[in-house]
Structure formats: C-alpha cells, structure tokens
Amino acid sequence: MTAEAPAHTPEHHDGEHHTSTGLSNEKLAMWVFLGSECLLFGGLISTYMFNKGRIGPDDVGPNDVFDIPFTSVSSFVLLMSSLTMVFAVSSIARGDLRGNRIWLTTTAALGATFVAGQVYEFTAFYSEGLGFTTNLFGSAFYALTGFHGAHVTIGIVMLMSLLVMSMRGNLGPERAETVEIIGLYWHFVDIVWIVIFTIVYLFPQ
C-alpha cells in the first residue's frame, strides 16, 4: 500500500476527501463511535451516582478509601498525556517522524503510569476491605473506573501499534489522519476521566 496509489489515498492534497460528504469516513466513524461511548459512560456514571450512598452504617464507603492527593496526581498525568498526544499529531502533520515517535511513546508512557496508578489504587482499596461485591458502592465504583481503565489500556495498545507502524516505515505524513483518529480516542478517554474525577472523587460525599 503506497501513498502514490490513488485507490488507497482517500484525501486530496488540499484536504478534501473522495466521499459524498467531503469528509473522511474514518474520522466520521470515530466521532459516531465516541458519541455512542457517551451513552456507555453515561450509564456507568449515573449507576455510580445512584448507588454510591447505598451502603450500610458499618460498610466501607468513599470517605474511607479515597486518596484525593494520589488520584489528583494520576489525573494530572492523564491530562498531560492529551498534550503529548496533540504534539504527536502535529509532529506527523509536519513530517517530523522522529518527533512523532517520541511523542507517541511519551503519551503511551503517561497512559501506562495512569493505569499503574489505578491498579495500585484498586489494590489499596481491596486491602482496606472494598471488593467488587462488598456493597453497591464498590460494584458501581469498580465497574465505572475499571471500564475507563480498560479504555486507557486499549488506547495504549493503539499508540504502541502506531509506534510499530512508524518503526517499520508505514507511518508517514500521508497517514497523519490515522494518528489524529487514534488521538481523538485518546482525548475522549481523557474527557471521560475529567467527568469521573469530578463526580466520583471530588463531589462532597
């Protein structure tokens, strides 16, 4: 598959696409997917909101387990990974392949740091007596943050795939849109965490 073959290059040089809308079908599909993901996370967040207070007087609750300074740092790490992701997108758009590889690696590393923090947090909560089936708060909390963590992990796998493509010479400036589309997914998991961090961790319990 080469950039020169018209059948495999959906873009004109001026950014127009050979589609009925004039837009990239892949990008359109990603936005539709992200719109549908709002429903998934909306369901999980509202389930958490509904169940977080449904615990007995001696049950383990949010105030017993949450470590806000620790989660604030991991939230900041994920937020900054969005910045490195836009650098990865803009570097490939400029044709800076080395820069693109470095920013992709940095983004994946920041994402992995966030996931490692989440694993540590889950382990700490479990040792403090909050299991998945301990109470409704635990079930809703682990389901919501676990689904989000799974999304971040999938994002890391996609970033590493881009890196492998780049190392093999299959990711040049003509494929900048591929990086941009993966970037959209990455930013989406970031905005979902913005909502989760506020509603789950910072709202007064």
Partner 1 sequence: MATVTPDSPDTAHSPEEHASAGGHAHPSNWLYVKVAIYLALLTAFEVFTYFETVHGWGDTAIIIMLVIMMLLKFFLVVAFFMHLKFDSPIFWRLFVFGLILAMAVYMVMLTAFRFW
Candidate residues 8, 23, 119, 154; the one interacting with partner 1 per rule CB under 8 A: 23
**CA–CA separation, 160 and 178 (whole Å):** 13
Q: Which is nearer to partner 1, 30 or 115 (CB)?
A: 30
**CA–CA separation, 138 and 133 (whole Å):** 7
Residues 6+ apart with CB under 8 A from 89: 176, 179, 180, 183
Instruction: Record the tokens describing residue 102, joined without a space.
Output: 């470095």
- Based on the shown chain and the rule CB under 8 A, indicate whether residue 19 belongs to the binding site for partner 1: no
**CA–CA separation, 127 and 123 (whole Å):** 6
Candidate residues 26, 59, 99, 139; the one interacting with partner 1 per rule CB under 8 A: 99
Q: Is 17 in a helix, a strand, or coil?
A: strand
Candidate residues 76, 120, 132, 150; the one interacting with partner 1 per rule CB under 8 A: 76
Asked whether 34 and 188 are in contact (CB, 8 A), the reply is yes
Cα diameter, the chain: 68
Q: Give the nearest distance from C-beta 96 to partner 1 in angstroms.
A: 4
Candidate residues 18, 25, 35, 157; the one interacting with partner 1 per rule CB under 8 A: 35
Asked whether 176 and 68 are in contact (CB, 8 A), the reply is no
Q: Give the nearest distance from C-beta 156 to partner 1 in angstroms.
A: 18
Interface with partner 1 by CB under 8 A: which range of 121-129, 141-149, 160-168, 195-203? Answer: 195-203
- Based on the shown chain and the rule CB under 8 A, indicate whether residue 165 belongs to the binding site for partner 1: no
Interface with partner 1 by CB under 8 A: which range of 108-116, 118-126, 136-144, 194-202? Answer: 194-202
* Long-range contacts, stretch 96-102, CB < 8 angstroms, 24+ apart: 97/166, 97/171, 97/172, 100/166, 100/171, 100/179, 101/163, 101/166, 101/167
Site string for partner 1, 128-147 (x = CB under 8 A): --------------------
Distance set, CA 70 to CA 77, 138, 200 (Å)? 11, 19, 14
Interface residues toward partner 1, by CB under 8 A: 11-16, 21, 23, 27-28, 31-32, 34-39, 41-43, 45-46, 49-50, 68-69, 72, 75-76, 79-80, 82-83, 85-87, 89-99, 102-103, 173-174, 176-177, 180, 183-184, 187-188, 190-191, 194-195, 197-199, 201-204
